[in-house]
A and B are shown apart, each in its own frame.
Chain A
Amino acid sequence: MASAFEYAPAPESRAIADIAPSYGLFIDGEFTDAADGKVFKTLSPSTEEVLSEVARAGAEDVDRAVKAARRAFAKWSALPGSERAKYLFRIARIIQERSRELAVLETLDNGKPIKETRDADLPLVAAHFFYYAGWADKLGHAGFGADPRPLGVAGQVIPWNFPLLMLAWKIAPALATGNTVVLKPAETTPLSALFFADICRQAGLPNGVVNILPGYGDAGAALVAHPDVNKVAFTGSTAVGKEIARTVAGTRKKLTLELGGKGANIVFDDAPIDQAVEGIVTGIFFNQGQVCCAGSRLLVQESVQEELLDSLKRRLSTLRLGDPLDKNTDIGAINSAEQLARITALAERGEAEGAERWSPACELPSSGYWFAPTLFTGVTQAHTVAREEIFGPVLSVLTFRTPDEAVAKANNTQYGLSAGIWTEKGSRILAVANKLRAGVIWSNTFNKFDPTSPFGGYKESGFGREGGRHGLEAYLDV
Chain B
Amino acid sequence: MSDRTPERLTVFKTYKLYVGGKFPRSESGRVYEVTDSKGNWLANAPLSSRKDARDAVVAARKAFGGWSGATAYNRGQVLYRVAEMLEGRREQFVREVAEAEGLSKAKAAAQVDAAIDRWVWYAGWTDKIAQVVGGGNPVAGPFFNLSSPEPTGVVAVLAPQKSSFLGLVSVLAPVIATGNTAVVIADERAPLPALSLAEVLATSDVRAPLPALSLAEVLATSDVPGGVVNVLSGRTAEIAAPLAAHQDVNAIDLAGADEALAKELEIAAADNLKRVLRPQPVDDWSATPGTDRMTAFLETKTVWHPTGSLGASGSSY
Nearest residue (CB) in A for B133 is A143
CB–CB A439/B300 < 8 A: yes
CB–CB B273/A442 < 8 A: no
The residues of A that contact B273 with a CB separation of less than 8 Å are 238, 241-242, 245, 257, 259, 459-460, 462-463
Nearest residue (CB) in B for A438 is B301
| In the assembled complex, A433 has its CB within 8 A of some CB on chain B | yes
For window 425-478 of A, CB contacts with B under 8 Å fall at: 429, 433, 436, 438-445, 448, 450, 452-456, 458-460, 462-463, 465, 468-470, 473, 478
| In the assembled complex, A21 has its CB within 8 A of some CB on chain B | no
CB–CB B302/A439 < 8 A: yes
CB–CB B270/A249 < 8 A: yes
The residues of B that contact A468 with a CB separation of less than 8 Å are 137, 147
| In the assembled complex, B262 has its CB within 8 A of some CB on chain A | yes
| In the assembled complex, B306 has its CB within 8 A of some CB on chain A | yes
Stretch at the interface among B39-47, B138-146, B196-204, B207-215: B138-146
CB–CB A429/B305 < 8 A: yes
CB–CB B139/A453 < 8 A: yes
For window 271-305 of B, CB contacts with A under 8 Å fall at: 271-273, 275-276, 278, 290, 292, 295, 299-305
Q: How far apart are A169's CB and chain B's nearest CB, in angstroms?
A: 15
Q: Tell me the complex Cα distance, A438–B147, Å.
A: 12
Q: How far apart are B7's CB and chain A's nearest CB, in angstroms?
A: 53
CB–CB B143/A452 < 8 A: no
Q: Tell me the complex Cα distance, A2–B13, Å.
A: 83
Nearest residue (CB) in B for A450 is B139
Q: Mark A65-91, 1 if CB is under 8 A from B, else 0.
A: 000000000000000000000000000
Q: Mark B246-290, 1 if CB is under 8 A from A, else 0.
A: 000010000000010011001101111101101000000000001
CB–CB A478/B292 < 8 A: yes
| In the assembled complex, B315 has its CB within 8 A of some CB on chain A | yes
| In the assembled complex, B132 has its CB within 8 A of some CB on chain A | yes
CB–CB A454/B317 < 8 A: no
For window 277-320 of A, CB contacts with B under 8 Å fall at: 278-279
Q: Tell me the complex Cα distance, A172–B262, Å.
A: 32
The residues of A that contact B275 with a CB separation of less than 8 Å are 463
CB–CB B263/A454 < 8 A: no
CB–CB B266/A250 < 8 A: yes
CB–CB B317/A439 < 8 A: no
CB–CB B137/A445 < 8 A: no
CB–CB B315/A470 < 8 A: no
CB–CB B305/A444 < 8 A: yes
Q: Mark B120-155, 1 if CB is under 8 A from A, else 0.
A: 000000000000110101111101010100001000
Q: How far apart are B219's CB and chain A's nearest CB, in angstroms?
A: 33
CB–CB B267/A272 < 8 A: no
Q: Tell me the complex Cα distance, A305–B299, Å.
A: 33
Name the one of B152, B271, B302 contacting A453, with C-beta atoms under 8 angstroms.
B302
Q: Tell me the complex Cα distance, A170–B76, Å.
A: 37
The residues of B that contact A436 with a CB separation of less than 8 Å are 301
Q: How far apart are A311's CB and chain B's nearest CB, in angstroms?
A: 15
Q: Tell me the complex Cα distance, A401–B291, Å.
A: 42
The residues of B that contact A452 with a CB separation of less than 8 Å are 137-140, 145
The residues of B that contact A252 with a CB separation of less than 8 Å are 278
Q: How far apart are B228's CB and chain A's nearest CB, in angstroms?
A: 19
Q: How far apart are B317's CB and chain A's nearest CB, in angstroms?
A: 4
Decide: A454 near B147, CB < 8 A? Known: A439-B300, A478-B292. yes
Name the one of B138, B270, B301 contacting A245, with C-beta atoms under 8 angstroms.
B270
The residues of B that contact A448 with a CB separation of less than 8 Å are 139, 141, 143, 304
Q: Tell me the complex Cα distance, A274–B303, Å.
A: 22
Q: Tell me the complex Cα distance, A443–B304, Å.
A: 6
Q: Tell me the complex Cα distance, A473–B296, Å.
A: 11
The residues of A that contact B305 with a CB separation of less than 8 Å are 429, 443-445
Nearest residue (CB) in B for A123 is B140
The residues of B that contact A143 with a CB separation of less than 8 Å are 132-133
Q: Tell me the complex Cα distance, A87–B212, Å.
A: 59
CB–CB B306/A250 < 8 A: no
CB–CB A439/B301 < 8 A: yes
| In the assembled complex, A275 has its CB within 8 A of some CB on chain B | yes
| In the assembled complex, A127 has its CB within 8 A of some CB on chain B | yes
Q: Tell me the complex Cα distance, A136–B269, Å.
A: 34
Q: Tell me the complex Cα distance, A245–B135, Å.
A: 29
Most B CB within 10 A of own CB, among A241, A252, A448: A448
CB–CB A453/B141 < 8 A: no
CB–CB B302/A454 < 8 A: yes
For window 155-213 of B, CB contacts with A under 8 Å fall at: none
Q: Tell me the complex Cα distance, A470–B140, Å.
A: 17
Q: How far apart are A427's CB and chain B's nearest CB, in angstroms?
A: 13
The residues of A that contact B290 with a CB separation of less than 8 Å are 145
CB–CB B132/A455 < 8 A: no
Q: Tell me the complex Cα distance, A321–B304, Å.
A: 29
Q: How far apart are B152's CB and chain A's nearest CB, in angstroms?
A: 8
Nearest residue (CB) in B for A456 is B300
Q: How far apart are A250's CB and chain B's nearest CB, in angstroms?
A: 3
The residues of A that contact B295 with a CB separation of less than 8 Å are 473
The residues of A that contact B271 with a CB separation of less than 8 Å are 242
Nearest residue (CB) in B for A238 is B273
Q: Tell me the complex Cα distance, A386–B179, Å.
A: 30
Q: Which residues on A are within 8 Å of B, measured CB to CB?
A: 127, 143, 145, 238, 241-243, 245-246, 249-250, 252, 257, 259, 272, 275, 278-279, 414, 429, 433, 436, 438-445, 448, 450, 452-456, 458-460, 462-463, 465, 468-470, 473, 478
Q: Which residues on B are within 8 Å of A, measured CB to CB?
A: 132-133, 135, 137-141, 143, 145, 147, 152, 250, 259, 262-263, 266-267, 269-273, 275-276, 278, 290, 292, 295, 299-306, 315, 317
The 7 closest A-B pairs by CB, nearest first: A250-B263, A245-B270, A249-B266, A450-B139, A275-B317, A452-B137, A249-B267
Other A-B contacts than A249-B267, A450-B140, A470-B133, 11 sampled, CB-CB below 8 A, are: A127-B140, A250-B262, A414-B272, A440-B302, A441-B303, A444-B305, A445-B306, A448-B141, A450-B141, A453-B145, A463-B273
